[in-house]
Structure 1
Amino acid sequence: MTTGFETMTKDIDMQSEWKIETRTTLSGIFSIVSLVAVVAMAAAPFAVSRGVVQDLFFILTMLTLAQSWNLLAGYAGLISVGQQLFVGCGAYALFAAVILAGWDPLLAIPVAGLFSALIAIPTAFFVFRLYGPYFAIGTWVIAEVGRLVLAQWKALGGGTGTSLPRDATREMVGISGLADWFGMRPSAAADALAYWLALAVAVATIALVYKFLRSKHGLGLAAVRDNETAARALGVDARRLKTAIYLLTAFVTGVVGALIYLQKGRISPDAAFSLTDWTAYVVFIVVIGGIGTIEGPILGVLVFFLLQNAFSSYGSWYLLALGALAIVTMLFAPQGLWGLISHRTGWELFPVRRRLRGGSASYSEKGGPNG
Structure 2
Amino acid sequence: MNLSDYHVTRTSRATKIAAVLGLLILVVLIAAPLWAGRADMRLLGELFLYLALASLWNLMAGYAGLVSVGQQAYVGFGGYMLFALTIFGGLHPIGAILVAGVLGALIAVPVALLIFRLRGAYFAIGTWVIAEVFRLSFAQISSLGGGSGSSLPAGIVKSLSESRSGREHLSYWLALGAAVIVIVAVYLFLRSRNGLALTAIRDNELAAGSLGIDIWRTKFIVYVVTAALTAMVGALIFLQKLRISPDAAFSVNDWTAFVIFIVVIGGIGTIEGPIIGTLIFFALRESLADLGTIYLMVLGVVAILIMLKAPNGIWGLVRGRFDLELFPLSFRVKKSNSSKGA
TM-score (norm 1): 0.88
Whichever residue aligns with residue 194 of structure 1, its letter is S
Partners of 1:264 and 1:162 in 2: CA distance = 11
- Per-residue displacement from partner, 1:233-254 (whole Å, max 9, x unpaired)? 1010111110000011101111
Aligned to 1:342: 319
Partners of 2:288 and 2:83 in 1: CA distance = 33
- Cα separation, partners in 2 of 1:141 and 1:356, compared to 1, 3 Å: same
**SS of residue in 2 equivalent to 1:247:** helix
Partners of 2:9 and 2:297 in 1: CA distance = 44
**SS of residue in 1 equivalent to 2:333:** strand
1:356 CA drift (Å): 2.0
Partners of 1:154 and 1:17 in 2: CA distance = 70
Aligned to 2:116: 128
Residue 218 (str. 1) matches residue 206 (str. 2): no
Contact 2:48 2:179 in 1 (8 A): yes
1:217 CA drift (Å): 2.1
- Per-residue displacement from partner, 1:29-66 (whole Å, max 9, x unpaired)? 11011101111101101221111110110110000000
Residue 246 (str. 1) matches residue 223 (str. 2): yes
Whichever residue aligns with residue 151 of structure 2, its letter is S
5+ residue gaps, structure 2, are none
- Per-residue displacement from partner, 1:339-371 (whole Å, max 9, x unpaired)? 1222222221113110122357859xxxxx94x
Contact 1:87 1:273 in 2 (8 A): yes
1:70 CA drift (Å): 0.3
Partners of 2:188 and 2:89 in 1: CA distance = 36
Residue 71 (str. 1) matches residue 59 (str. 2): yes
Q: How many residues align?
A: 342
Residue 307 (str. 1) matches residue 284 (str. 2): yes
Aligned to 1:116: 104
| Pairing 1:190-269 to 2, within 5 Å after superposition | 190-269=167-246
Partners of 2:157 and 2:98 in 1: CA distance = 16
**SS of residue in 1 equivalent to 2:14:** helix
Aligned to 1:327: 304
RMSD: 1.8
5+ residue gaps, structure 1, are 1-10, 177-185, 364-368
Aligned to 1:96: 84
**SS of residue in 2 equivalent to 1:118:** helix
Partners of 2:339 and 2:33 in 1: CA distance = 56
Whichever residue aligns with residue 62 of structure 2, its letter is G
Partners of 2:206 and 2:159 in 1: CA distance = 54
Contact 1:113 1:253 in 2 (8 A): yes
Aligned to 2:7: 19
Partners of 1:96 and 1:37 in 2: CA distance = 36
Partners of 1:257 and 1:293 in 2: CA distance = 23
- Per-residue displacement from partner, 1:260-297 (whole Å, max 9, x unpaired)? 10010000000000000000000000001110111111
Partners of 1:314 and 1:149 in 2: CA distance = 35
Runs of 4+ residues over 3 Å off in structure 1: 14-18, 358-363
**SS of residue in 2 equivalent to 1:287:** helix
Aligned to 1:165: 153
Whichever residue aligns with residue 110 of structure 1, its letter is L
Contact 1:289 1:297 in 2 (8 A): yes
Contact 1:85 1:143 in 2 (8 A): yes
Structure 1 range deviating more: 273-282 or 350-359: 350-359
% identity of equivalent residues: 51
1:17 CA drift (Å): 5.3
**SS of residue in 2 equivalent to 1:110:** helix
**SS of residue in 2 equivalent to 1:357:** strand
Whichever residue aligns with residue 190 of structure 1, its letter is R
Aligned to 2:38: 50
Contact 1:198 1:259 in 2 (8 A): yes
1:80 CA drift (Å): 0.3
Whichever residue aligns with residue 318 of structure 2, its letter is I
1:313 CA drift (Å): 2.6
TM-score (norm 2): 0.96
Partners of 2:339 and 2:131 in 1: CA distance = 62
- Per-residue displacement from partner, 1:54-99 (whole Å, max 9, x unpaired)? 0110110000000000000001111000000000000000000111
